[in-house]
Structures are given as C-alpha cells and as structure tokens.
Structure 1
C-alpha cells in the first residue's frame, strides 16, 4: 500500500498554493487542512468525484464534521477520475445515473470514524454509511476493498481520512433478481439494462432460486447485457428486438444457458477470482482469464475462443456478487 503517492503530492501542492495565495495567513494546521469535500475540489484527480458529490447531494455532508460519530470523522474510499471512466462516466455523463442511485453509491464509499491504512487488513470489517459491509482482500502484495485496489492511504482531512481507489464500488442493497429488476426498470441508469436477462429468468422460472435469502448459499453471477443477448440472437440466425424474443428459444435451452452464468461459491469479487476453470450450476466449466488491471475475462465451453469482458464488475447484492459482461456464456448445447 502506497502511503506517499502522486495523489498525496498533488494534494499537498494544492494546499500550499492555496495557502500562499491567501490574503490571510495562519500558523494553525487545522486552518490549512481541507475537508474531505475540499480535497475533491483542490485535486484534479478527483474532479468527477467532486461533480458526483454535488449531483448526489453529499458535498455538504463531507464538508463538515460527522454528527454520527464521536470523533466527528469520516473515512472515505475515493474513486479517481479513471475509476469513474471505467464505467464510462465523467463529470458530463453522470446524468446517465439516477440521482438516488448516485447518492447511495457515494455513501457506500463512506464510513463513520477514522480507519487508517495501518488498520486495514483482511480480518477487519468496514461498514459503509449505507449499513452494508465491505470486505478487504489482500492479493499479490496489494490491498483491495471489495474489488477495488487501494492506491493510496491516509490523506488527512479536517473531518477524517481519504483513501484512494481505482474502481467505483457498487452495492444494490437487494438480492440478485431485485438488482437486475432495478437495472431493467431504469432505477440505476436512466436507460434500461439487463431487460433480456430479467425476461430469461422469468421465462425459465429461476426467480426463486436467484432470490435466495442472505443466509442461503450465495452466488457469483455473470450477467450479460442486452446487447450480448441481441448478439446471441444474430449468431443463432434470430432477430432479437425486444426481451420477449428470447422465448423463441426452447425453455430448456435458455435454462441451461442461464445456469451457465451462476457459480455457487459464496460470491466473489474480482479480487477473489483466479485464472482457470470454475464450474457453474449448469455443469460445463467456465474459463476465467488472467487477473489484469482488476478484471478477468470469462469464456463458456460453447464460446470457442470468444471471451466475455466485464462491463460493470463487483456489484454487491444481498445474496452474491454480480459482474455484468458483454457476451452470453454458452454451455455445450
């Protein structure tokens, strides 16, 4: 974990410049230590986070002390501009997200109190401001929170501490099916997504199985985008223009395909997945590619050399982890 990094260097530089240009001087450290919100303002690496905090209505919260903790502090895991860009988001495109989802996503990066880098380890739990726990993972000498690598730690703010991460963390607060329904009904993005997947789950009567309670075995689910299903239809010589077109395929075939996307392995973030074969509920092994830049490809036994890429990785649900992918994973049909 890199306690001294370019992010901290840029922060210190920004503070110094602001102090030198001020008409007033002060010898007090607190006078020149910015709030968490001001860190985003003064550091160009966090300009998208700054815009998101304003749009999501949390900028004011992170400008002040924490009334819900005796220390008055927050701990924030702050995604960089590059982290937002991995989801196709920047300051101009944040409007693609519903405001309520954006707000909850930001709060998922926040926790009460002051968790310093030295206290972060795999045996420490961290509860977000949403009340949802996040877990730390050690891999190849790096530390991750869920599937996001911690790039820098211990950037001090007047109201807490900031740690820098390389991917935006997402939690739905619902089970796998309800999470897919939220995407389908445009409660996450302003445009619907996973509409074909939801239709397929209903068609095959798998709603109950994928709505298992948190106490039941949890899953890792690879969730194909709508375009992935449209591409599948074209490959099969069919035309999919609406979700119900998936019913052109026999129900047993669609069932076999869906089960090929579900692994009963307690739900794994990208940081916990390894290259090699894994066995889904459908029985035909999937092949995971190398862990590269925090992502893995995945290939079905019936996909040949055509691997699926992760579009939205590491979505935490109440009964598993969902990775949205750009290709349908085919078993040997």
Structure 2
C-alpha cells in the first residue's frame, strides 16, 4: 500500500515537474523570440521602407525632399543613424525653415547620418570614428558599461534595426557635421574671444587643435567678465596660473551629456577633478552652469559654461569676489544664438 502511495506521489510530482518545465520553456522561448524581434532582419524592407515602419516619418519626408530615398533604397549596405520625429521637432522652427529652403545644406546634414557598410551596435567601440557619406566622421562613444551608446553625442535609443540593405540605429537627436577642432571653434565664435585670447597666451591653442579626444567646459565671455578687471588682468599676466586654470577646464576624454551622471567627478588635464551635478533642470560643473551642451568638434565636445572654474589651490589670487556666482544673467540665449552652427538646438 505504501509503495502504491509513493509511486502515485512520484507520478504527481513528475507531472508537476513536466508542467513546470513546459511553463519555463515557454517563457524562455518567448523571451528569446522577443529579443530576436528586437534584432530582426527585415528582408523585404529597404532602409527608407524600414524607417517608415519604425515611425521615423520626418526623416522619410526629408529623404524624399532631398532625393536621397532612391540612393538609400539601393544595394548598399548602409548604416543610418535615424533621428526620431521628436528629435527633428526639437530644432528651432527658424532653423528648420532655413534648411527647407537650402536643400544643399539639408542634404549635407542628412548624409552625415549615413555610413557605408553595415555596422551593428556590437561592432562599435568607444571613440570610434565612423566616416559618413557626407565626409566628416561620426564619433561613437560608449558609456555606463555599454548600456549607453552615442553617435556624435546623440543617444542610440533603438539599435540594430536591420533592413534588406543595411541597418538603422534610431537616435534621440539630429547629428550635425562638426565645424572643426575645439581651437577652430574658439577662434571663430564671437562668445569665446576671452577664452581664445587666454588659450593663445598659455600656448594651449595647438594642444586643443590636436587629435584629442577632449571635453572642454568652455567659459563664454560673460564668464570672464564676471571676474573683476584687476583680477582678470592679473590672471592674463601670470602665464603659469593661467595655464593651470585653463587646463582645469579640459578633460582628456569625450564626455557627452548622455554619458554623464549626477555626482560624476572628472579628472582634468590640470590634475584636479570637476564635479557634475544635475538638479532643477540645470547641469552644473562645480558651481558653474552649463548654458549650452554637447557641441561636437572633430576632436571632442564642448560644453559652454557661465563661470570660470578655478582649481582649489588657485582661487586666492583675487580678493574681490571673483568666484561669486550670479545666476540672473540671460547668457544662455546669447550663447545659443552664436552657436547655432555648432549644434542648432
């Protein structure tokens, strides 16, 4: 009798085990299927068709307007970093209207989103430069243990959407060809006249024209003007101190916003560290506010700040409140107007 009961119990347990195995295998199979669909090859859809299916409607419309649809429907293969409709909608209307009347420039911007060959996200590496069809290179950066990938600072939000003739990586922003090196930008842009002069005095212009990569927290002219004149004169006449201060603004790596987190401490060329904080809709570096972020250059990225940064052991040269912070100015709009050619958001 006991043997019969034991065999019956074993039979029930075995049946439950089989049922549990079946449930587990079904869940496992469904999970794999979902993951596979995220990396699905759309054999019957070329890149423009897949872009439409993904809801990249503005991109599709602009490709048609610039007569690029047939090219991207061709044999390829191509890799396309495709901005979402929201990314295009974030551009200033005035700038968009200008682009729609200047199809040559619009074509240049769109072709900067395209690379020859099929490059999946697993093929990308940090600081990789991917030559675009436009001619400039798209800088790839990988952050947070591979969970965040950016293309010229724009975060890849949906990677590896494979078409019959290539792949689309959906991105959160519109990419723009870089206008030159960091030194080129400081020389050309009116809001950096003080910074450009200071870099020349400290003989750092050639350094920031090099390969990099660099991140520079670039003080605009108003940042320098906050320093009392006699203190600023002192700074500009003390080359060693000036060099130390300027090097404190430079990080020997590329740190786009998507890769920075609140509390991050970034080691600078000077040797000290700057701290990133994010609160109340503002990003700050130490106590300076970032008024314009993610301006791509050929050798890194520029974040424009409203205050000059001073290393801990160099802030005693001025006793007139040079480091007091005033958040009441409107330089954010002023800087943005002059930097449209860098990153027209």
TM-score by length of structure 2 reads 0.58
CA 1:250–1:116 in 2, change beyond 3 Å: closer, same or farther? closer
Matches of 2:55 and 2:194, distance apart in 1:
39
Which consecutive unaligned segments of at least 5 residues does structure 2 have?
Answer: 1-33, 316-345
Match of 2:195 in 1: 197
Match of 1:177 in 2: 183
Match of 1:152 in 2: 158
Matches of 2:280 and 2:63, distance apart in 1:
29
Matches of 1:124 and 1:209, distance apart in 2:
18
1:1-333 superposed matches below 5 A: 33=45, 36=48, 39=51, 46-47=57-58, 49=59, 59-65=66-72, 71-84=75-88, 89-94=91-96, 103-116=107-120, 119-122=122-125, 126-129=130-133, 130=135, 132=137, 134-139=139-144, 142-146=147-151, 147-155=153-161, 160-172=166-178, 174-182=180-188, 184=189, 193-212=191-210, 214=211, 218-224=213-219, 226=220, 229-233=221-225, 235-236=226-227, 250-252=236-238, 254-263=242-251, 265-270=252-257, 272-273=259-260, 275-289=263-277, 297-299=284-286, 306-309=287-290, 311-313=292-294, 315-317=296-298, 320-331=299-310, 332-333=314-315
Matches of 1:73 and 1:139, distance apart in 2:
30
Matches of 1:326 and 1:99, distance apart in 2:
33
1:9-58 CA-to-partner distances (Å, cap 9, x unmatched) read xxx9xxxxxxxxxxxxxxxx95xx47528946x877553x467657xx8x
Deviation at 1:78, TM superposition (A): 1.3
Deviation at 1:165, TM superposition (A): 0.9
Matches of 2:280 and 2:107, distance apart in 1:
29
TM-score by length of structure 1 reads 0.60
CA 1:203–1:66 in 2, change beyond 3 Å: closer, same or farther? farther
Which consecutive unaligned segments of at least 5 residues does structure 1 have?
Answer: 13-28, 185-191, 239-245, 300-305
Larger Rg: 2
Matches of 2:158 and 2:271, distance apart in 1:
41
Matches of 1:202 and 1:262, distance apart in 2:
15
1:129-149 CA-to-partner distances (Å, cap 9, x unmatched) read 225253352536634134432
Matches of 1:260 and 1:45, distance apart in 2:
41
For this pair of structures, how many residues does the alignment match? Answer: 267
